[in-house]
Amino acid sequence: MREAQENRIDCVIEKQKIGVMGMSRCAGATLVATSLARMLSSVESRKVTFLEICDLFEGKDALLYDAIGIEKRFRTREFTGFYSDVKHGESIRGKSNSDEGINWGLITPEDVKEAQNPSPIEIVRLINNIHGDLIICDISSCKNSVDYLLDMDVVIFVIDPLPSHMIAGYPLLREVKRLEYKGKKTVWLINKFNSGVNKRDYLNFLKLKKFYKIPSIPAENFYSAEFNCKIPYEVRDIQDGVKAVLEKIIKNEMDIA
């Protein structure tokens, strides 16, 4: 018999992981992932982390680290290289690169210079131990990318409807559909939607029952964002293009308090 009644209600915020992946290169997964992180950073009850997932440093042609001006943002602060720490067996618990309400877990120029691919177990350590309870993972298409999706609570699959890109990404599309069939929560998002897209053809090819669409956004907005070291979502025309759609996805597809 218990001597005292157990009245306390334990409340624990579970780490929630959202994986964003493109069907093809330059489909717009990073735009979606950074925009989600920026929008969700306003949720006071959650600590948002943006984490790049990639196991191919060698030959990586451009870095988000440079695109949003991390060197300038952390000019007077130390920026933690999470990939380097994990590679050298150091603990990353409690470490944070906080800026604009987001903990940035990015591949750095130093990581690229070392050109040492992290092992799958090191990537899993990053995903599960990085500081934050709402983890937005920008997952590049790489050798073990589908395996990393298994660790996600929600998968957002971003599609460029250009025919050659859809054909190139079809094997990955099949893998993600297989995960959805097994019960993985999957959100299908068509990016760069424009009047040149043949509706009948892309519907016949993708065979999706439910999906969301982001309109094509003029390239000059992304150039402006990068020249000004801004997160793309902070440029007005980009925000106007993605905000309403992502709000629907957050409301309809995610359990975020």
Rounded to whole angstroms, the Cα distance separating 34 from 49 reads 10
Q: Candidates 3.40.50.300, 3.40.640.10, 1.10.3470.10, 3.40.50.720; correct CATH number of 16-253?
A: 3.40.50.300
Residue found under tokens 């402006």: 224
Rounded to whole angstroms, the Cα distance separating 163 from 205 reads 9
Task: Look at residue 39 and tell me whether its pLDDT is greater than 80.
Answer: yes
Rounded to whole angstroms, the Cα distance separating 137 from 114 reads 22
As a whole number, the mean pLDDT across the chain is 90
Rounded to whole angstroms, the Cα distance separating 93 from 173 reads 34
With cut-offs at 50, 70 and 90, classify the pLDDT of residue 140: confident
Predicted pLDDT at 182: 95
Mean pLDDT of the 18-30 span: 94
Rounded to whole angstroms, the Cα distance separating 171 from 176 reads 9
Pick 8 or 183 by higher pLDDT. Answer: 183
Predicted pLDDT at 11: 45
**Tens-place pLDDT, residues 82-102:** 999 998 889 998 899 999 999
pLDDT > 70: percent of the chain: 92
Task: Check: CB of residue 118 under 8 Å from CB of residue 86.
Answer: yes
Long-range contacts of 206-213 (CB under 8 A, 24+ apart): 206/159, 206/166, 206/173, 211/159, 212/187, 212/188, 212/245, 212/248, 212/249, 213/189, 213/245
- Sketch the domain layout of the chain as residue ranges: 16-253
Task: Look at residue 2 and tell me whether its pLDDT is greater than 50.
Answer: no
With cut-offs at 50, 70 and 90, classify the pLDDT of residue 8: very low
**Whole-model pTM above 0.75?**
yes
**Tens-place pLDDT, residues 207-225:** 999 999 999 999 999 999 9
| Single-letter code of the amino acid located at 133 | D
DSSP 3-state assignment of 136? strand
With cut-offs at 50, 70 and 90, classify the pLDDT of residue 6: very low
